[in-house]
Amino acid sequence: MRASSGFSNNMVLVLLYAQLILGMSTIYASSHHMDGSVMVMLANWAQSIVLFQPMEVAASIAPVGLVYKLHVFLGMTLFLIFPFTRLVHIVSGLAAPVKYLLRNNQIVRQKRA
């Protein structure tokens, strides 16, 4: 596997591991505020991104902790580099099962006696 992997593939793995570690560390950070207020702020941030409201983007994520901001930043970075890495094969893999189910010429080999 190492022979066919380049720098970008290894870098994506490092980024995914870092994202996993940051995501797991948000569990500990969330245990200090069980009222869900940070989740509401993050939901408002996501809504302002989807609705293209740039003035509210920075204001809605400003009060949350650093671990959440790093997790969001790394997540957006992964979305940014997605088309330029092998992660794009996830999308092409979604069409394969559908094409397999819809094909009519299936080859079935008979067992030899």
Whether 87 contacts 75, CB under 8 Å: no
Structure confidence by residue, pLDDT tens digits, 75-93: 999 989 888 887 777 777 6
The first and second tokens of residue 102, run together, are 């819809």
Predicted local distance difference test score (pLDDT) of residue 105? 64
The sign one gets for the Cα dihedral 70, 15, 89, 86 is positive
Task: Reply yes or no on whether the pLDDT at 1 is more than 70.
Answer: no
Per-residue pLDDT tens digits for 27-67: 988 888 788 888 888 888 888 888 888 777 777 788 888 99
